[in-house]
Structure 1
Amino acid sequence: MQKRLKSRFLFCDRWLDRQSIVRNMEAFQDLIVIVLCLGLFAVMLIQLWGILIALTQPLDYKHVTAKILFVLILVELFRLLMVYLQEHSISVGVAVEVTIVSVLREVVVHGVMEISSVQTAAICGLLLILGGLLVVCAKTPHMDCISANTKFCPIVYEDRRELQNDLEFHYSRHRDENQPRV
């Protein structure tokens, strides 16, 4: 009896390759993220047009500032999606930045004087926690460095492919050193 390979499984009397399924699903996810990016870009353009229209009319500073902050939130979300497309992981630092700008936008929209003292204390606590998380994210080495079994990552990689090539080189060298000599 022949054993089937681990990378394959039986489905509807056909052999399907798991790697090709995963590759196709990742491509589909990338397509979804690209559609989201295009949608965000369209919303940003619409909001910029609204800001230009608002500037031609009598100025309501609160309204215009809220729209500008909303565009900044959209830009940060766009950047988050771009990081996801490049690295296939969510950047916690960018997500925290988006959250901070969103909280500040809500404070500007509602006005500091209209918010109760309990809500103000809660917002201050949330901003302190988010700021602390942002500092921790900035001080923590990137997850790729941790997965490389290093205690710290002195090398800053501009591109994920550079890191993968470097890791493959080190692992292949390590594997070659441990091979029995014939």
Structure 2
Amino acid sequence: MQKRFKSRFLFCDRWLDRHSIVRNMEAFQDLIVIVLCFCLFAVMLMQLWGIFIALTQPLDYKLVTAKVLFVLILVELFRLLMVYLQEHSISVGVAVEVTIVSLLREVVVHGALEISEVKTAAICGLLFILGLLLLVCAKTPHMDCMSANTKFCPIVHTKSRERQNDLEFQYSRHYDENQPLA
């Protein structure tokens, strides 16, 4: 009796490979993120056009500042999507930066003097917590560096990376010596 591979499962009398399904789903997610990037880029261009139009008319500082901060938020969201495309994980630090800029935009748009004391205290508390979270994200090494494959981690010291490369070379040479030449 032949043993079934762990990476395969039986469904509707067919063998389906989970790895190919996951790979295809990740490719589809990447396509969705790329479409979102193009949409964000289009919205950024429309907002820049709106800023240009607002500057040609009588100047409303609150409106222009709100539009500029909104473009900065869109740029940060675009950067968040780029990090996702590169690493296939959401960068918490960039997400916190987007949240901080969004909060500051709301304060600028509504005016700090027009916001009630309770809302001001809540915004200050939230900004304090987000600042601490940003500090923790900056001090914490990335999760990819904690995995077994630390070859591409910028945090790993050079000597340990050289040692790992030497070990990989020894293992690859070991396999090459045992393989017959073609």
- Normalising by the residue count of structure 1, what TM-score does the alignment of the two structures yield? 0.84
Q: Which residue of 1 aligns with 2:23?
A: 23
In the other structure, the counterpart of 1:105 is 105
Q: Does 1:121 align with 2:121?
A: yes
Q: CA deviation at 1:142?
A: 1.2
Superposition pairs of residues 35-54 of structure 1, within 5 angstroms: 35-54=35-54
CA distance in 1, matches of 2:39, 2:95: 19
The aligned residue for residue 94 of structure 2 is 94
Percent identity, please: 79
Distance 2:83 2:70 in 1: 20
Distance in 1, Cα, partners of 2:28 & 2:6: 24
Runs of 4 or more, structure 1, over 3 Å off, are 152-156, 168-176
Q: SS at the partner of 2:155?
A: coil
Partner of 1:132: 132
Amino acid in the other structure paired with 2:94: V
Distance in 2 separating the partners of 1:170 and 1:111: 60
User: Aligned in 2, Cα 1:104/1:155: closer, same or farther, shift over 3 Å?
Assistant: farther
Residues 171, 15 of structure 1: alpha-carbon distance in 2 compared, 3 angstrom cutoff: farther
Aligned residues: 171
Q: Say if 1:85 and 1:149 are closer, same or farther in 2 by CA, change over 3 A.
A: closer
Q: 1:23 to 1:149 in 2, by over 3 A?
A: closer
Give the 3-state SS of the residue equivalent to 1:113 in structure 2. Answer: coil
Q: CA deviation at 1:29?
A: 0.3
Counterpart residue identity of residue 137, structure 1: C
The CA distance in 2 between the partners of 1:16 and 1:171, in whole Å, is 36
* The structure with more radius of gyration: 2
Give the CA deviation at 1:171.
7.4
Distance in 1 of aligned mates of 2:145 and 2:9: 33
CA–CA distance in structure 1, aligned partners of residues 166 and 10 of structure 2: 36
**Aligned residue in 1 for 2:3:** 3
For residues 54-103 of structure 1, the C-alpha deviation after alignment (integer angstroms, 9 at most, x for no partner) is 00000000000000000000000000000000000000100000000000
Taking only aligned residues, the RMSD between alpha carbons, in angstroms, comes to 2.9
TM-score scaled by length of structure 2: 0.84
Rate the CA distance shift 1:174–1:66 in 2: closer, same or farther, 3 A: farther
* Partner-residue secondary structure (3-state), 2:113: helix
Post-superposition offset of 1:154: 3.9
Q: Could you tell me which residue of structure 2 aligns to residue 159 of structure 1?
A: none
Map of 2:66 onto structure 1: 66
Residue 11 of structure 1 and its aligned partner are, at CA, apart by 1.6
Deviation at 1:169, TM superposition (A): 4.7
Q: Gaps (5+ residues) in structure 2?
A: none
Deviation at 1:3, TM superposition (A): 2.2
From 131, 153, 158, the equivalent of 2:155 is: 153
Cα 1:17–1:2 change in 2 (3 A) is same
